[in-house]
Amino acid sequence: MNLLSTYRAKELCSIFLVWLFTVSGIIGMSVGYYEWFIMKTPLNLMLLFTLLLINFPICSARSISLTIFFFLTGFAAEWVGVHYGLLFGAYHYGDNLGYKVDGIPLLIGINWALLTLSTAAISQHYVSNKWLRAAFGAFLMIALDFFIEPAAPLFDFWYWDIGHAPVQNFVAWFGIAFVLHTVYVKSNIIGMFRISAHVFLAQLVFFIYFSFYHGI
């Protein structure tokens, strides 16, 4: 098996796992196994992140530094948001995103990195202009967050003091995401489109479903 065949096999296996976990979660929670599947949320997020990293791959000093930067920036933004009510609005985290540092789950930083890397690769595939590429990548992140917000309390992710995500949240998301995407564009890293598209679409399908389904 040559190197190209090995890579394609790894990519296909990764895509299969992405959809296996996503579809299993949707079906399992819909038919009465909510508690069991909801406890696997951190595992599922780490699986998606790992699959994305090994397919990009994140192995050079530049790509590793960039991923850490996305993690730290997202985590810092969430810390400011939770502790000062700035940026996104007034909210607090539940317990289902795992270990927290000063009230902020470490997984939320990983999620920022995951979303930035995947949407940047998708935007890179479709848009040539660098500024439009950053804007489109940020838009993709906002589009996903739009469907995550209604489902977040169902999964004990986070809760808004006013009961729903304010417009301020989406404005801040776009602004921060645009900065992260601009940094990505300037780095000249080439993302992997197919795995990124499947990771993004799997999350989109999952949260669209649960943003409308309230039988759990």
Q: For the chain (length 216 residues), average pLDDT per consecutive 10?
A: 70 94 90 80 88 86 92 97 93 93 95 96 95 97 95 92 95 97 93 94 94 65
pTM beyond 0.85, yes or no: yes
Report yes or no: 40 and 20 within 8 Å, Cβ to Cβ: no
Domain residues for the domain of 108 are 3-212
Q: How far apart are CA 119 and CA 141, in angstroms?
A: 7
Predicted pLDDT of residue 1: 52
Buried b (16+ CB within 10 A) or exposed e, 158-183: bebeeeebbeebbebbbebbbebbbb
Signed CA dihedral, 207, 209, 214, 216: sign only: negative
Predicted pLDDT of residue 44: 87
Nearest to 117 by CA among 212, 214, 185: 185
**The total number of structural domains that make up the chain:** 1
Q: How far apart are CA 189 and CA 68, in angstroms?
A: 14
Predicted pLDDT of residue 39: 81
